[in-house]
Every structure is written in structure tokens, then in C-alpha cells.
Amino acid sequence: MTCQQAPRGILVVTGTGTGVGKTVVTAAIAALARSRGERVAVVKPAQTGVGPDVPDAESIGRLSGVTDTHELARFPDPLSPEAAARTAGLPPLDMHAAAEHIARLARSRNLVLVEGAGGLLVRYDGDGSTIADLASALDAPAVVVAAAGLGTLNHTALTLEALAARKIISAGVVVGSWPSRPGLAERANLADLEVIAGEPLAGLLPEGSGRLGRAEFLAVARAGLGPRLGGRGEAGR
């Protein structure tokens, strides 16, 4: 996948941790692909912390208009997938079955987006399987969604190193929630994240994007994501 190509096949969306904007970034990539007339599916291998909040797959559908969404496991407590399954006394996600399901979807879709839970190395089962293992099994590149503020440089560097160690191609770093009033740390991090990634940022989405209507969200996605992810933006600027 070069810098001028929109994503095709299977693309994993992971992050430096929880609450960094993975769902909004997934929805943005899905919205852009749908606007090009592509067949798009979105997979959430495991949803945890199911309570009053709208599940990620439903949020993605509302924002992007993509209705071909798949949630493979659901657990009530807001924990890692492995801990949430264990605490609830439920069987964990079958990662092998998940990989087979995603591979089947990819045969009849232009793009299958797979949104992980938490960070790259969060455990999904007792064997220690992670979203990195799923990306490796599918030979899929991964987008890394990062926070904007303090701490993001270390977390992003560690995530990119973990991808490289597993020979998983990075599809770029996206800042998932850019504040309306960035401070010194946020502004400095834009340049430093590009140094860590060794390339321009793949995108930057403003905070509050997940509360927009579908048409507004598509416009924000187009402006905020770079050509590598199907948009027209230049995040570094």
C-alpha cells in the first residue's frame, strides 16, 4: 500500500491504548470507502464494557453508513477481552475462528476493517492471543491510532516497534482526537510523531467527530485522513 493508494483487502485498526479514537478512525476509513462505491465490512472481534454506551459497531454504522458490521464476541465488563471473558465466566474469543471469518468476508468485499480492543498487545484469550497475532495470521497491515497529548510518543514508538518485530506493515499513524485548543505538547507531538513513524502522519481527526451527522462526518474524514487511507488531508500541516 503506497502513500497514494486507498486501502484494499483487510486493514487492522489498532491503537496505543483505549480511548484514543479507534472507533472514529475506523468509521472514517469506512465512510470514505463507502463513498467510493466500495463494498465495505467492519469487524469488531470482541466488544467489552457493554452497558449504556452504544457498541462500537453501531457507532461505526451511524457515522459511516456501513451496515455490514460483525461483532464476534461481547462481554459486559470494561476490561481486556481475556479478562472480561474470564470475569463473566464466558468462553473467550476464538481467534482462529475470527481469522477464518474475516478471511471469508474479504473474498467478497473490497475492504474489511478490523477494529481491535485497547492496544496492540491486549490479550484476547488464555493463550495470550492479541490483535497483532490476528493481523499476522491475516497478513494484514495495521493503522496505529494515537493520542495527541503527553505520553503519546512513548506509546506510539512501542506500538510501532511491536508491529515491526512481528513483520506487520504499518499503514500509518493517525491522531484520533485532535483538541480544538492544542497546547504546546500537542503541537510539538505532531512533528515528533512523524519522526517516530519515519513518515508523515496518515491522518488527524478533530475531537468531537463522533458526534457529527453522517454528511458532516464524511467531510471531516475526507479532510482529516491522508491519501493512504482514502482521504485528501495533509495531517502534518
Q: Is 44 a catalytic residue?
A: yes
Q: For the segment 19-53, what is each residue's pLDDT rounded down to a tens digit?
A: 999 999 999 999 999 999 999 999 999 999 876 55
Q: Which stretches of the chain drop beneath a pLDDT of 70? A: 1-5, 51-56, 235-237
Catalytic residue among 44, 74, 86, 109: 44
Q: Please report how the helices 56-64 and 22-35 are oriented relative to each other, as an axis angle in degrees rounded to 10.
A: 40
Runs of H (alpha helix) within the chain: 22-35, 56-64, 81-88, 95-106, 131-138, 152-165, 184-197, 214-224
- What's the pLDDT at 63? 95
> Residue 115 corresponds to which amino acid?
E
Residue 85 confidence (pLDDT): 96
Going from N- to C-terminal start, the domains of the chain cover 9-229
pTM for this prediction: 0.93
- pLDDT given for residue 8 in this prediction: 81
Quick one: which of 70, 160, 52, 165 has its CA closest to 115?
A: 70
Are the C-beta atoms of residues 48 and 18 closer than 8 Å to each other? no
9-229 has which fold? Answer: Rossmann fold (3.40.50)
pLDDT of residue 1: 41
Between helix 95-106 and helix 131-138 the angle, nearest 10°, is 40
